[in-house]
Amino acid sequence: MVFCCHGLPLMNLLLHHLWVMFHFIPSYLCFMKYWCLAQHRNLRKSKRKKKTADTYFERTSMTLNVDQPSLELHNVSSSSTGRDFITAAQLYFILLSMSALTQVISLGGVITNVINIAVFVKLGFNETSNISLLTLALSDLLTTILTIWGTLCITPGFTDAELPFLPTEIAQLTGAGLSVFIIRCSAWVTAFISFERCLCILIPLKVKKWVTPKTTTAVLVAICITTIGPYIGVYWRWKFVWKFLPDRKATVLGVTIVDKPAVVLLDTVFNIIFGTIQPIIAFLTVLVCTVFLVVYLKRSSQWRKSMASAGGKAAGGDNSSRFELKQNISRKEEKIDSVRHHIADVDEADLALI
């Protein structure tokens, strides 16, 4: 989502940063859903393994109750062992709640980003800020759409349906994984917007010559290629394969992991460069630019206050000097009038003598 606050660059920037951080909420919910789904699978496997043992213990307890009437009937099951800290029904409720919450948030993001895209298209592309904000809106729109798709693929009702693919596995490549790379693109676009605003403060007269619509478009295309393009490397480790499910007696599309040493090493280097170093650089860029803007705005506000107070003092000084000047003029006029009266009296006396 993109917020437009003309005349408030710092507020606009902070809202951008908050929205980028807000995108991690659906991703975190998706991660929690994957974790709950894995716990659900582990519970099902453990229950299958304990099935024979549970039947044996139940039969033993029933035999003890027949032979010894004083003993109570103990129904030994997996839930009474204390190992299962969450039940399948609770997991189902958690998954369903998280899916609904994530989809509502993402749907709101889709609507707002579509509105923003329409607004920036109408404004035109003569201003570099419109191009940057349009790119940010597009990346956010793709992120929210992929989040909706990834959430749908791990929703209990959708996963239980007999589909020609395994939703939880397909979502790892087409949903959550790809959305993470697009979120990084949004972070780098936000960093570029922050850097551009710092340039507007440092070199306000030359920034229009350096940052043109063509250069802005080229930089944004390079950002998209360097952040989303490396996602192709994920397919070195993850591959689409056809899997046979004995329970359904059908072949469906799924995902498998390649464990070759060379592929694992390449995937490790890939994660270090594009999964750790690149996001940290974007975060530090945004942080430094934000701190610079905050410090500059504080200094400019202090300078304005000092100039206003100095202007008030100067205005007060001018008023006092004008008042003193008027008093001096009135005193001189009084002296002149007294001299005139004195001269007139002398003339009258002379005339009387004549």
CATH code (residue 56): 1.20.1070
Q: Which helix (H) or strand (E) holds 239?
A: strand 238-245
- The four Cα atoms 6, 7, 9, 10 give a dihedral, to 10 degrees, of -120
Q: How high is the pLDDT of residue 116?
A: 92
328: in domain: no
Q: Which of 238-252, 255-269, 303-317 has the lowest mean pLDDT?
A: 303-317
3-state secondary structure at position 244 = strand
The pLDDT-based confidence of 3 (bands split at 50, 70, 90) is very low
Q: Which of 3-12, 90-99, 215-224, 275-284 has the lowest mean pLDDT?
A: 3-12
Domain hosting 208: range is 9-307
Q: How high is the pLDDT of residue 93?
A: 62
313: in domain: no
Which amino acid is it at 287? L
185: in domain: yes
48: in domain: yes
Query: What is the C-alpha to C-alpha distance for residues 6 and 85, in angstroms, rounded to an integer?
Result: 52
327: in domain: no
Bridge partners for 256 per DSSP: 239
The two three-digit tokens of residue 18, written as one number? 């908050």
293 touches 190 (CB < 8 A)? no
Task: Give yes or no for residue 324 having a pLDDT over 60.
Answer: yes
Instruction: Report the interhelical angle of 24-49 vs 88-123 (nearest 10°).
Output: 160
Select from 253, 257, 114, 251 the least CA-distant residue to 177: 257
Select from 212, 183, 199, 213 the least CA-distant residue to 283: 183
The pLDDT-based confidence of 227 (bands split at 50, 70, 90) is confident
Provide the whole-model pTM. 0.62
Give 162-169 contacts, CB < 8 A, sequence gap 24+.
Answer: 162/248, 162/250, 163/252, 164/252, 164/253, 165/252, 165/253, 165/254, 166/243, 166/252, 166/253, 166/254, 166/255, 168/34, 168/37, 169/254, 169/255
Q: How high is the pLDDT of residue 222?
A: 93
> Mean pLDDT, the chain, as a whole number?
71
Q: What is the pLDDT of residues 334-346, one digit of tens each?
A: 666 665 555 555 4
Number of structural domains the chain divides into: 1
Q: What is the pLDDT of residues 144-185, one digit of tens each?
A: 898 888 888 877 777 777 888 888 888 878 887 788 888 888
331: in domain: no
Over residues 258-286, mean pLDDT: 83
Q: How high is the pLDDT of residue 341?
A: 57
Task: Give yes or no for residue 133 having a pLDDT over 60.
Answer: yes
Alpha-helical segments (H) within the chain = 9-22, 24-49, 51-67, 88-123, 128-153, 156-159, 167-171, 177-202, 207-210, 213-228, 234-237, 261-272, 278-353
352: in domain: no
User: How would DSSP label each residue in 54-93?
Assistant: HHHHHHHHHHHHHH-TTSPP----GGGSS--SS-HHHHHH
The two three-digit tokens of residue 167, written as one number? 């939703």
Which amino acid is it at 224? C
Select from 169, 164, 146, 167 the least CA-distant residue to 155: 167
Which amino acid is it at 338? S
Task: Give yes or no for residue 75 having a pLDDT over 70.
Answer: no
Over residues 64-69, mean pLDDT: 36
Q: How high is the pLDDT of residue 276?
A: 83
336: in domain: no
Q: How high is the pLDDT of residue 121?
A: 92
Query: Which residue has 């009296």 as its token pair?
Result: 345
Q: 11: how many CB neighbours lie within 10 A of its CB?
A: 11
Please, which residues have CB within 8 angstroms of residue 347's CB and are 6 or more apart in sequence?
Answer: none
Instruction: Report the interhelical angle of 24-49 vs 128-153 (nearest 10°).
Output: 20
